[in-house]
Amino acid sequence: MPIPEDVTGDEIDKDVRQELMSLPKTLAEDVSRNLVMVARLIDEDPEQAYAYSRIALRLASRVAAVREAAGFAAYATQKYSEALAEFRAAKRMTGSVELWPVMADCERGLGRPERALAMAGEPEVQKLDKAGQVEMRLVAAGARRDMGQLDAAIVTLQSSELASNAVHPWTARLRYAYADALLAAGREDEAREWFGKALEADKDGSTDASDRLAEMDGVEFVDALDEDEDGDENGEDGAKGRTSEA
């Protein structure tokens, strides 16, 4: 697959570059350029990212960083069995538990929430950093919801991290998950409060908390183009009331 000329491979993380030093120089450059493309495309075009990850994997399957990148690309395209296999391989190579939460989420994706819950109780979780432990809590709560255990999901998310007023990179997602679980349980007033708290912490737009709040308040945003076409006819502005579906 073609790679833009401006991609040199030097853009990759220094730790990954260190791993690739075990390869011949030209091969290391080829692998690193493909890994850069994976990172560039994984959010906007995951299928393309996946294709580049397969090339890197074919070139350097014994490099843990390559297996991890291939895992995330497979995960992004919902190839959960493949992702899990790659994450397990990376974990074996490095001995790190960092991938434990996303491995558990792959079990959810494969329709095995009970396995995800079992992983949430394993010793590996205690070795995770704070961000990893919060991620594991989110996965466990999702597994509870998969199993129809809404109240248990809500309790799972109740934690010192949720109660804290401090804002961390994971705060918005944790508050959002809690709000969503509350709403699913019919606790609308509490859900509205926590969607608001999620929005306060969401500095980079990682959630759609603002849309969820608007939906709960019965506000529907109309596309500006549609408005131009029929606005004169019905006299509507950019938002109109509707019966809340919540």
19-41, pLDDT tens digit by residue? 999 999 999 999 999 999 999 99
223 pLDDT band, cuts 50/70/90, is low
pLDDT at 233: 47
Average pLDDT of the residues of the chain: 90
pLDDT in tens, 86-101: 999 999 999 999 999 9
* Confidence (pTM): 0.84
226 pLDDT band, cuts 50/70/90, is low
Say what percent of the chain tops pLDDT 90. Answer: 80
pLDDT at 224: 53
Six token digits for residue 175: 């508050």
